Amino acid sequence: MLSFPRRIAAGIRTALAGRRMPIVAAVLAIVGMLPALTAGWEMDDCFQRVTLLGLGDTRPIDTFIQYVGRAHNLAQMDFGTMPWWGSLDLHQAFLRYTSVLTMMLDYLLWPNYPALMHLHSLLWLAAAVLVAALLYRAVMGATWVAGLAALMYAIDGAHAVPASYLANRNALVACCFGFLSVLLLVRWRKHGRAATRWLSALMLALALSAGEMGLGTIAYLFSYALVVDEGGIRTRLMRLMPHGAVLAVWALIYKLGNFGSHGSGFYTDPGRDPFGFAATFFQRAAFLMMGQWSPLPAEMSMGPAPGSPAYFHMSIFSFAIAAIVLLLFLPLVLRDRVARFWGLGVLLSLVPIGAVGPENRLLGFVGLGSMALLAQMAQALFAGSFVAPRLWKGFAWVVTSLLLLIHVVAAPLIGLARLDYQATVDARLNRAMASVPSDPQLASQDLVLVNPPDHIYLVGTIWAFHVLDHSPMPRHFRALSSGGTLEVKRVGPRALQFRFPGGFFPTAFSRFIRSPNERFAVGQHFDLPGFSVTVQSLDSHGDPEQVLYEFPVPLENPTLRWMSWHDGAYVPWTPPAIGQTATFTPQRGIF
């Protein structure tokens, strides 16, 4: 007769292997993310809401097309929604039409009810988890291992941002169709129904049209053909010809439609800048692995400036996590074909998301294989069938136990904490926007912001909020820095000299709208309406160290509305007297 603990363990294994486990996993995914229903519209949702309501100059179907050429960028720079240091060659146009159609449906049916929009997103999350659970069973059988992988994927905290951030629904849509594509391929190879193969190719097309993250589908399709499928290598790859045709058509449309991103320090286009992509990929991949396997999210890497001690320490930690994970799973991958499939899928799915700043919201495809590997490792260790040196076994027991603790016990709490953090960020943004003047006088003034911690959300969002609220808009927005330490000296009735002792770009995110490959030059001059900028000196990184700002009117002129960022809000600011200097220390933004 089994002891009580063994009966409990046997019961858990039976439940995990049950036929209802995929449905249970999908329901758990929704239940764990229910607080997302109260999230409202957050950050990029505000910009997209302007477009989807038809209040901007962009068609709703082009919601993910943001910066499209020098003329468009120059107009934004003249107005000030792009700062003077932004790149006129900045280009961001993403092919995400399937996801946009789901958003347009929201605005057709319930445009003023964000809770229903979030419920729509949760249904996509449930669908993605359901398909992932079915895929685990198709590859690993109706076993408790497949059930454990489904459970861990369902409650993974990485789902929090896509579930609560409407602008990131595209990740859920891409995962759902991508997982379906892989599942249908596996079923075709097992059951031989030709129609299933073509449905798999169709699902790939939908995944790619949902978002660039859908490229992760290719990682698992290729991995399955290379590692799991039967026959010669040429035969196995030829079976993917319909998928290759879909990928080729997508790539052609992407190229001819001028989709992609360049000119940014946040996005890297592998096609346009393969060396730049290669230079950043391994570090970004390490941060993503840190986000997948540890409680620290990958986006923490975007806080400190590259080259700073904090960034260096986080880099070391991320590479250590990646090394530990590699050491843990390598013996399993070498001995087990299914583990090789999941492992190769994880590695290849890092490639497309390595083109953007590392964030946990990108880990949908990485998490798919990661949870399967962890479940397989748990099975190998618990069964006692793993023949390996005693030292490695001790290491594997400790690390696997910690990872199970993180991904089974702590994962729901991590997800809730992430949802709470998103809500906190949104509350900070709303507080910041409430501090911006909206009186009628603003329409005849330039809003001059001395030290906003970031331009995307603390300058550009002002425009979106004022459009949505039908509030007066300033003549121009004029941001004078991207935060950090500033020394502001008044050198004349109409001029201020700024020094940046801590660097012009104090965080990795502050380079969003200008690639580090686009260099500044001493004496470089920018003339904008009612405002001019001269770069007087550069620091060791080639960024502005000292800048002269000149205005056509005295700084006290009522057509200039001066504000500085302090303690989470904008407050009125008065320029110093001629010859005097004002110092600003780094201030926390909304993150």
The whole-number pLDDT of residue 293 equals 96
State both tokens at 521.
């030059």
Task: Give the distance from CA 273 to its chain's centroid.
Answer: 20
Q: What is the DSSP letter of 477?
A: E
The whole-number pLDDT of residue 506 equals 87
What's the CA dihedral at 319, 347, 175, 294 to 10 degrees? -20
Residue pLDDT tens, the chain, 591 long:
556 566 777 777 788 888 999 999 999 999 999 999 999 899 899 999 999 999 988 899 999 988 888 888 999 999 999 999 999 989 889 999 999 999 999 999 999 999 999 999 999 999 999 999 999 999 999 999 999 999 999 999 999 999 999 999 999 999 999 999 999 999 999 888 888 999 999 999 999 999 999 999 999 999 999 999 988 899 989 999 999 999 999 999 999 998 988 888 888 877 777 877 888 899 999 999 999 999 999 998 887 877 788 889 999 999 999 999 999 999 999 999 999 999 999 999 999 999 888 999 999 999 999 999 999 999 998 876 666 778 878 898 999 999 999 999 999 999 999 999 999 999 999 999 999 999 999 999 999 999 999 898 999 999 999 999 999 999 999 999 988 899 999 999 999 999 999 889 988 788 888 888 888 999 999 999 999 999 999 998 889 999 999 999 999 999 999 999 999 999 999 999 999 999 999 888 888
Q: Give the β-pairing of 544-550 and 569-572.
A: unpaired
Q: In DSSP terms, which residues pair with 496 in a beta bridge? A: 490, 549
Radius of gyration of the chain (CA): 26
The whole-number pLDDT of residue 355 equals 87
Please state whether the predicted TM-score (pTM) of the whole model is above 0.85: yes
Question: Residue 205: which of 239, 170, 174 has the closest Cα?
Answer: 174
How far, CA to CA in Å, does 496 sit from each of 100, 525, 573? 44, 15, 14
State both tokens at 72.
């468009």
Q: In DSSP terms, which residues pair with 560 in a beta bridge? A: 446
Where exactly are the structural domains of the chain?
4-63+94-418, 444-584
SS3 447: strand
Spatial strand order in the sheet of 65-68: 65-68, 91-93, 260-262
SS3 113: coil
Q: Encode 243-261 in three state secondary structure.
A: HHHHHHHHHHHHHHCCCEE
Q: What is the DSSP letter of 224?
A: I
Q: Give the β-pairing of 560-566 and 569-572.
A: antiparallel
Spatial strand order in the sheet of 544-550: 525-528, 531-538, 544-550, 495-499, 486-492, 581-584
| Angle, in degrees to the nearest 10, between helices 309-335 and 274-293 | 80
The whole-number pLDDT of residue 132 equals 98
